Structure formats: C-alpha cells, structure tokens
Amino acid sequence: MPIVQFAPFSSLVQPAFWHALTDLKIDVLRLSDEAIPVSGSYSSGRSVKDRETGTEIALGCNLSVGGEAFQTAVQAPSHSVPVTGVFKNFNTIEEFKAADKTALFNSIADEIWNSIVVDRSTALLTRFLLITFADLKKYKYYYWFAFPAFVAKPAWEIDGEWKPAGEEFDDDTLSTIQSHVQTSPTPFFLIRPSQKCGVPEIASLEQYDEFFANVSPEQRTIAFLDPSALSTNPGWPLRNLLAFLRTVHPAYTYRVLCWRDAELPVSGAWKSRFGVVHQGTGELAKDAETTKPAAVGWEKNVQGKLGPRMADLAPMMDPTRLANQAVDLNLKLMRWRILPALDLEKVANTRCLLLGAGTLGCYVARTLMGWGVRTITFVDSARVSFSNPVRQPLFEFEDCLHGGKPKAACAADRLKKIFPGVNSTGHNLSIPMPGHPIPSGSTEQTRKDVQTLEKLIDEHDAVFLLMDSRESRWLPTLLGAAKGKIVMNAALGFDTFLVMRHGARASSATAGGTRLGCYYCNDIVAPADSLTDRTLDQMCTVTRPGLASIAASTAVELLVSLLQHPEGINAPAPPPQSGSGTSGDAQASESVLGIVPHQLRGFLAQFRNLLITGAAFDRCTGCSEMIIRAYEEQGFEMLLKAFNEQGYLEALSGLDKLHDEGEAALESVDWDEDEGEDDF
Amino acid sequence: MSATFTRSQFETACKAYIRVHNASGQTSATAFRPDGWTWSDHNSTIARPGFMHRSALLPLNPVRSLEIGSEEDVSGVSSPIDESVVAANTPILIASEQHVVYSPTFQVPTFYFTMYNSSGAPLTLDQILISPLFHPHSLANAEATSFALTEPGSSFPLLSQGDHPVLGTPSWYLHPCHTAEAVVELMAESPRGDESEERTLVRWMETWFMVLGQVVNLRYRS
C-alpha cells in the first residue's frame, strides 16, 4: 500500500501584506515583538494546461496572506477559506536569526493539539506561524512561514490509488457539493448519501457522531477543500484532519474526498480526487489521545532548503527609486517622441560645478535637474539673506533667520528635498580674485581655498560661472581652461544678459577651426577690483527679475546642445546668422538639438537675442597659453601674484605692450561700458 | 458603433461583459472569453472612475530564473524525517493583478497589470517578458529597457511603467494608442444588424480581449 504523500503549503505573499506590515510596525508595534494574530486564506488547487506540452501544471498548494492579514474579522476571498495564525516580528536581523524557532513552532503545534484533544474542534487545524524581520530602510523583508502538521506513526496509506471523484460519485452528487462549497466554503465537511432519494447531505465535522450515526462506514465520506492540484497528492490540511479523526473519531479507514472544483467543470471532468486511507497496520490507535505526535512544517526557501525567504520591495516602495524611475521616464519620452538620437545618459552623467548659488545658480540647478543631471555641486561664500528667497528659488524665508544659512549647503539640501536621487553638495568657499590683494596672514587660507577649487574642478565635467562680479570669474576661467573642462558663463546686466561657453585651450583645440574665446578674450584690460567704491545699486545685482531664469535656462540648454554635439567642447560655432533658415554649412555644425552658439547676448528691452562668435585672443589674461603655462609651472605662487600685483597679468600676457601701442587709437573707442556693466 | 467609448459606456460595457461571461463559466462552444473579472467602483467619481479587475496565478518558466537572492543561513531548525511529504516539484508561481481601466485620452479600455513573485516582490521587465503572461515571440523584436518595451519604428513604447490611473500605484500597462483601429476593423468583419446597444458593447469588449489576447495570455486566472 503506497504511503500518502501530502503536498505542503507554499506561502504566497501579496505586496499589500508588506505595506500592511510596514504600517503596523511604524504605527502600532514599533519596538514590540509580541506575537499577534494574523490571518490568511487558501482555496482549492488550480491547474493550467501548458500550451506547449498540453499537460496540466498544478499551481502549487498556496496559503496566501494579503493586505488585510492583521485585521480582525477578515472575509476570505471568494472560493477561499480563512486560516489564522501567529505572527511575530523581530526588531533586528540578529534577533530574527537567534530566535528559538523550535519553541515558537512547538507552541503552535501545542495549540493545534489541544484544540483536537481538549476542544475536539477543527477550527485551528490549519493554524500557521509567520516570523519576520522588516528592514524598513531598505524595504527588505525577511520572513519564514511554518505550517505545523502532525506526523502519523505509522504513516497513512492509500487503498489502491487516488482516483477522480467522478468514479466514486455521480454528477448530481458532485454538483450538489459544488454548489454547497461555492455558497459557503468550509475547510472540512462530511457527506452522506441521501436518506430518502435525490441529493446527498452535507454537514460539518463537529456533527460527526449524529450525522454518521446510522450510516455504514462505506457510505461515510470526509471531504476537505483541497489546495493541492497534484493528482496523487492531497493538500496539507488533510494531515491534521486525519490526526483529528484518528483521535476524536477512530476508524479503520476513512473515505476522503479532496475537493478541488471551485467551478462546474467545462467538459464534465471533475478535478476533485477520492481515496480510502488507513494507518499502516489498519489498527485503531490506542494511546493517540494522550501523546502529542511530532510535528513538521517549516516552509523551505526558494533554494529548497530549510531557511527564511526574503522579499525585496525597494523597486515598489522606495519613494526615491520611484522618483528616479519617473524622472528618467519623463526624459525618455522626449527620446521616444521627438529625438530618438538624444543621448540622455551623457547629459545625466555630466557632473556640474556651479560657482555661485545666487539667482543664476538656483535657476541653473533646477534646469539641470530637469535634464536628469545627477551630480550638482555649489560653491558660494555668502549666507542666505532676506532679499534672496523671492528671486532665488532654492531658498525660503526660514533659511534667512539667525544670520542666514550658508547658501551653497542650503541650496544643495534643497535640491535633495526636491529630488532625493540627486547627488548634491555645497562648499562654503570664497574665490580669490585679481585686484583683491590677499593679506599676508590669509595666504595659507587662500592656498587651501585654491586647492579646494582645483580639486572641485578636477572632479566635475562642466563648470558654471554664475558669480556676481567680473573678476571672480578669472580663477575658474584659468583653471577650467588648464584642465580642459567645459566652462559655461552667464552674466546679467539690468536688462541684458550674456551666456557663453569658453573655447577649448589652444594646445588641445582641434586644428583648423577657429578657437573660441573665453570671457576675458574680448577685454584688453585685466580683471581688477570692480567692487570697491561702487554705490549699492552698482554692486548688487539690479536686474529685471525674469532675466536670471532666462539666462540660466539658456546656459543649461547651451551646455546640453554642446554635450549632444559629436565634437563636444570643440563644437564649432555656427556661421553668422544669415537671415532665414540654416545654410548647409550651419547644419554641419549642429548637434541633434540644433546649433551650438558661442555667445548669446539677450536684450530684454528689445526682446531680442543676438548670437556672437568671438575668436580666442592670444594675449588673453584668462585663457592664453602664456597664462596657463605660467600657472602650470608656478602653481599657487603665480596665482598669488595675479591676486596681489596690479599689472602682473597684463605684463605676463603681453597685454600691456598692446595697451601702450594701441592706447592712442583706442582712446576714441567706446568699448568699456557694456562688458563691465553686465556683471552687476 | 463608434471607434471609442465614453466613460459611462465603458462602465456599462464592463458590467455587461462580467454579467455575460462570469455567470456561465467557460462554454467550450464559443471563443475563449477571459473571465473572473469584478467591477470595482473604488469610491467612483469623475476623477477616480471605476475599473474591472481580477487576479491570476502563473507558473514561471524557466523555473530557475526567479532567484529571490541568496539567504543567509539563519535556519537553526531541524526537521524530523518525514516520508509523508511530496518532494516539492510544483512550479514557482508568479501572481498577477490585472486591471482594465478606461483611458480618457484614447477613450478605450487599457490593460494595466502588476506581477510579483511568491514573496510579494515585483518582477523586473525581463522576468515579466519571459513569463507565460506574454505569448512567446509576440514581443520578440521589441527593444527593452529597464522600464519599457518599444517596438521598432513605433513612436510609443508598447509596454511601459506608469501609475495606475485610479489607484495611483506603480503598474505596467500596454499602450492603448492602436486599440480603437484594431477593434473597429475586427468588428466591421462581423456586422450585426439590430442588436441592443448593450450587446454591441459586450461584443466590443470581447473583440478588445481578442486583440489583447494576441499579446497577453489571458487564460491564467486564480
């Protein structure tokens, strides 16, 4: 006689269960690891036909827990029966590992055993245990189910084999049972043939004695809702049901109906199984009532070993990851619909250093985030003041209190608040400037500041010059040129702005094309102190309020166009604007986003933008080879001279000679006004 | 019958479809009609319209591709030898929640779904594509990224990730942009003269499921 082999339960956890556990842990349990009630459900086993082979695949023997698992008075889903269990959440993974699992398991087994021998009830036969550790920071949930079942000694055996229910019962009987189970699903029930004629009768297990009183053993049928769909293996609930029967209603054999037909069969083939089982020798157990049998039932993990399972719900629950996906999706839509060739990864991976966290810096940062840029670093030495928040969209009134927060760090924090996926930092740093001599006591601090700036520029791909003075742009212009970085420059006048990209260094620029200039190439004076002896309106950024966001957005879009151009930093400027349309020559210089101008000058008074291309100047105080080489050879000493000695840069670049030669000729030229005023 | 639905027609169509096809179970005489749906009002308002939903269980193929990650050995449990347990050879299961939601933009039903493994963790796009939910080869040429699947030459991703329009939860959906044309073309093949509007709406849904069924295997349910 073959031994009956039962199909164990497999846990099926719905995502809603983890949401419910998260809420319960945070709002109710907190640090408590008390055992609390939990509920789940199972339904009759299902199978599907495999498309390729045509064979039936049994879909497991599932016990499912969902979002309502911790609620009292749960209604099981249709065709399902509810089961209750004990839930215990541990506070640390160590406690979870070290927990006395055998004791927990045995306490449930004891409960089940007592329900049999003391209460003589079937209510707790399918009780289960669930232990968890919820790592709520990483949205990882470790869990382990146990479905305790008593081991019969000797084992249950089947007379012959399990056969289709249709071979034992007629269609009318089975249809009656189907309709009964559909209306009121119960885990276990009894069946006897009609006492008169017609339909069979159905009763609960608790009515066993009276219901079967005048029924011969060959006509007594014990049925259970069978979660297994395997043809030769009844589901797990039958084990404890048989333990119950052996103890409470001893018999030599039991006729068992494994009920698996949630719906009327399509072609008359009932899926339910029937078999007659007995214990090994066919004798009645005598000491069964007093001795609790051993119990088994820890669920194996996906590797088929005894051990806990883990659910990683970060992709679904971690708001940061959800935001990340959403940001990417939004940008990718651009690629799907308009620009299939757009290289978004290149934009997203461009590390941007923003020198200045004021009006321009705030708007530049926000537009960069819109493009999916993930590394944004601010440098600023000021604190947030009361005039800032209305014009600088990363600051709020609270940031101005108590002397104001440092702007760079405050802006970086705010970016993370807007989008946690961004990698933003702020550095409180003042950038030394030519014409602003360093007091000898501050030389060491300046040396450190310069080192910090050098390091920051090394660590980024694009440097934005967004400061509020002209001369503070000199050092980063030089460093950016020396290190071959993309340098973007934006400056504001009252109703005019300048946005430009600096050309590549002469020694690394591609041969042939015109090398594009930097901020200082058009100047024939070296940067000097422009802040001292100015009135307040000259020193502050007095500009039309909309100008900063226009200039900032233009600067970011110019960077993105440059990044999309195959030649990148060496992208040629478009030829001078020739009325309407782009010539063939212009198209050659375009990226997928269009042309990559060198400079844009915006005039708000006329609502007009002008594209300008300015060639590099070989005696420029910012980017000429002489200056860069001097910096590379002498390092900080050269910079110190530039900060302290008036005329040093002019002499180094040869600008002074040019100055002398051309002084007379230049006297009549009105060149100084517009460039100088753009900065303030 | 117009090419598209109004929102109230959608609701009528779904409810009628459920009434016709859930009550009888599958009758082998007719074509396959996915059943097991229920209508969810979900505090229905204009902003949160109702939708049709059901659950499904699918076996995973191939079995080994759904590793949940390696567990540390925290067992501490020994099990007595048990000859009365079947050697586990049941397939690894994946569960799917399926929703038919109205698309106000395209004015047609849209198929939304989530898929998760037995631990409740969501499946990745790669895992979803090899699952039996999709007919093999129906998506063979499409380009997959971690969050969307696009057919070559198509301006829209066929399958992508987005928030469920009613529940607001992350979900996968099949883009409804070509639904109306396909359904109307098929319905024109079998015009009926004087049938009730409800019958036409049900037929619209049946045809829609037929179109959807070209890509998605709708035979799995729980």
Predicted confidence (pLDDT) per residue in A144-179, tens digit: 999 999 998 889 999 999 999 999 998 889 999 999
Residues B61-118 have pLDDT tens digits of 644 433 444 444 456 676 667 888 887 656 778 899 999 999 888 888 999 999 999 8
Residues A100-117 have pLDDT tens digits of 999 999 999 999 999 999
The domain that contains A115 carries what CATH number?
3.40.140.70
Which residues in B lie closer than 8 A to residue A328 (C-beta atoms)?
147
For residue A37, whether the previous peptide bond is cis, meaning omega lies within 30 degrees of 0, is no
Q: Which of A362, A540, A620, A623 is catalytic?
A: A540
Is there a contact between B88 and A310 if contact means CB atoms under 8 Å apart? Answer: no
Taking the C-alpha atoms of residue A151 and residue A111, their distance in angstroms, rounded to an integer, is: 16
Q: How many CB atoms lie within 10 A of CB A378?
A: 31
Taking the C-alpha atoms of residue B147 and residue B128, their distance in angstroms, rounded to an integer, is: 11
On whether both A288 and A407 belong to a single domain, the answer is: no
Sign of the dihedral defined by the CA atoms of residues B191, B193, B195, B197, in that order: positive
Mean pLDDT of the B174-199 span: 79
Q: What is the three-state SS of A325-385?
A: HHHHHHHHHHHHHCCCCCCHHHHHCCCEEEECCCHHHHHHHHHHHHCCCCEEEEEECCECC
Asked if A344 is an interface residue toward chain B (Cβ–Cβ < 8 A), one would say: no
For residue A154, whether the previous peptide bond is cis, meaning omega lies within 30 degrees of 0, is yes
Mean pLDDT of the A181-193 span: 92
Q: Which residue does chain B place closest to A94, by CA atoms? A: B74
CA distances from B140 to A299, B129, B130, B200 (A): 37, 9, 11, 34
Q: What is the three-state SS of chain B?
A: CCCCCCHHHHHHHHHHHHHHHHHCCCCCCCCCCCCCCEEECCCCCCCCCCEEEEEEEEECCCHHHHCCCCCCCCCCCCCCCCCCECCCCCCCEEEEEEEEEEECCCCEEEEEEEEEECCCCECCHHHHHHCCCECCCCCCCCEECCCEEECCCCCCEEEEEEECCCCCCEEEEECCCCHHHHHHHHHHHCCCCCCCHHHHHHHHHHHHHHHHCCCECCCCCC
On whether both A194 and A169 belong to a single domain, the answer is: yes
pLDDT bin (cut points 50, 70, 90) of residue A679 is very low
Among A17, A98, A325, select the one facing B120 at the smallest CB separation: A17
Q: Please name the amino acid found at residue A297.
A: G
Q: What is the pTM of this model?
A: 0.67
User: What was the pLDDT predicted at A194?
Assistant: 81
**Average pLDDT across chain A, whole number:** 86
On whether both A385 and A363 belong to a single domain, the answer is: yes
Sign of the dihedral defined by the CA atoms of residues A70, A74, A77, A79, in that order: positive
According to DSSP, the residues that pair with A56 across neighbouring strands are: A49
Which residues in A lie closer than 8 A to residue B25 (C-beta atoms)?
263-264, 266
In a domain, A65, yes or no: yes
Residues A476-508 have pLDDT tens digits of 999 999 999 999 999 988 888 999 999 988 777
Residue in B42, B1, B34, B2 with CA at minimum distance from that of residue B18: B34
Is there a contact between B121 and A313 if contact means CB atoms under 8 Å apart? Answer: yes
Taking the C-alpha atoms of residue B125 and residue B161, their distance in angstroms, rounded to an integer, is: 9
Mean pLDDT of the A250-278 span: 89
The torsion angles phi and psi of B204, rounded to 5 degrees, stand at -60, -45
Is there a contact between B26 and A57 if contact means CB atoms under 8 Å apart? Answer: no
Residue with tokens 């079947």: B86
In a domain, A209, yes or no: yes
Which residues in B lie closer than 8 A to residue A46 (C-beta atoms)?
57, 222
* DSSP 8-state code for residue A292: P
Say whether A540 is catalytic: yes
On whether both A262 and A132 belong to a single domain, the answer is: yes
Higher pLDDT, A382 or B88: A382
| Structural domain total, chain A | 2
Q: Which residues make Cβ contacts (< 8 Å) with residue A439, sequence separation at least 6?
A: none
Sign of the dihedral defined by the CA atoms of residues A466, A469, A475, A477, in that order: positive
pLDDT bin (cut points 50, 70, 90) of residue A126 is very high
User: What was the pLDDT predicted at B46?
Assistant: 61
Taking the C-alpha atoms of residue A296 and residue A8, their distance in angstroms, rounded to an integer, is: 10
Among B69, B118, B220, select the one facing A11 at the smallest CB separation: B118
Residues A580-616 have pLDDT tens digits of 444 455 566 688 888 999 999 999 999 999 998 888 8
Mean pLDDT of the A402-416 span: 95
Q: Which helix (H) or strand (E) holds A453?
A: helix A443-458
In a domain, A258, yes or no: yes
pLDDT above 50 for A46: yes
Taking the C-alpha atoms of residue A145 and residue A69, their distance in angstroms, rounded to an integer, is: 14
Lowest mean pLDDT among A49-53, A140-144, B159-163: A49-53
Residue with tokens 């009926």: B192
Sign of the dihedral defined by the CA atoms of residues B104, B106, B108, B110, in that order: negative
Q: What distance in Å separates residue B149's CA from the closest CA in chain A?
A: 11
A 197-256 residues inside an 8 A Cβ radius of B: 230, 233, 239
User: What was the pLDDT predicted at A678?
Assistant: 43
Taking the C-alpha atoms of residue A151 and residue A280, their distance in angstroms, rounded to an integer, is: 13
Higher pLDDT, A454 or B29: A454
Among A4, A305, A325, select the one facing B84 at the smallest CB separation: A4
Is there a contact between B91 and A59 if contact means CB atoms under 8 Å apart? Answer: yes
The torsion angles phi and psi of A8, rounded to 5 degrees, stand at -70, 160
Mean pLDDT of the A560-581 span: 80
Q: What distance in Å separates residue B173's CA from the closest CA in chain A?
A: 14
Supply the range of the domain harboring residue A171.
10-314
On whether both A261 and A374 belong to a single domain, the answer is: no
In a domain, A528, yes or no: yes
Pairing of strands A599-603, A496-501: antiparallel
CA atoms within 13 A on the CB side of A636: 14
pLDDT bin (cut points 50, 70, 90) of residue A417 is very high
Q: What is the ipTM of this complex?
A: 0.81
pLDDT above 50 for A538: no
Taking the C-alpha atoms of residue A225 and residue A259, their distance in angstroms, rounded to an integer, is: 5
The domain that contains A625 carries what CATH number?
3.40.50.720
B 186-215 residues inside an 8 A Cβ radius of A: none
Is there a contact between B59 and A57 if contact means CB atoms under 8 Å apart? Answer: yes
Mapped onto helix, strand or coil, the DSSP state of residue A33 is coil
In a domain, A437, yes or no: yes
In a domain, A613, yes or no: yes
Lowest mean pLDDT among A252-261, A551-560, B14-23, B80-89: B80-89
Residue with tokens 């709406």: B201
Residues B27-58 have pLDDT tens digits of 444 567 888 888 888 665 666 678 999 988 88
User: What was the pLDDT predicted at A356?
Assistant: 95
Asked if A13 is an interface residue toward chain B (Cβ–Cβ < 8 A), one would say: yes
In a domain, A673, yes or no: no
Pairing of strands B148-150, A10-13: unpaired
Is there a contact between A313 and B120 if contact means CB atoms under 8 Å apart? Answer: yes
Higher pLDDT, B132 or B32: B132
Strands (DSSP E) found in A91-239: 128-135, 140-150, 156-158, 163-164, 188-192, 201-203, 221-225
User: What was the pLDDT predicted at A527?
Assistant: 63
On whether both A286 and A337 belong to a single domain, the answer is: no
In a domain, A671, yes or no: no
User: What was the pLDDT predicted at A528?
Assistant: 61
Tokens of A30: 């907190």
Asked if A502 is an interface residue toward chain B (Cβ–Cβ < 8 A), one would say: no
Best residue in B30, B82, B145 for a mutation probing chain A (most A CBs within 10 Å): B82
CA atoms within 13 A on the CB side of B121: 21
Is there a contact between B84 and A105 if contact means CB atoms under 8 Å apart? Answer: no
On whether both A283 and A158 belong to a single domain, the answer is: yes
CA distances from A99 to A50, A103, A140, A409 (A): 42, 9, 19, 45
Mean pLDDT of the A650-678 span: 62
**Average pLDDT across chain B, whole number:** 77
Tokens of A600: 């844009």
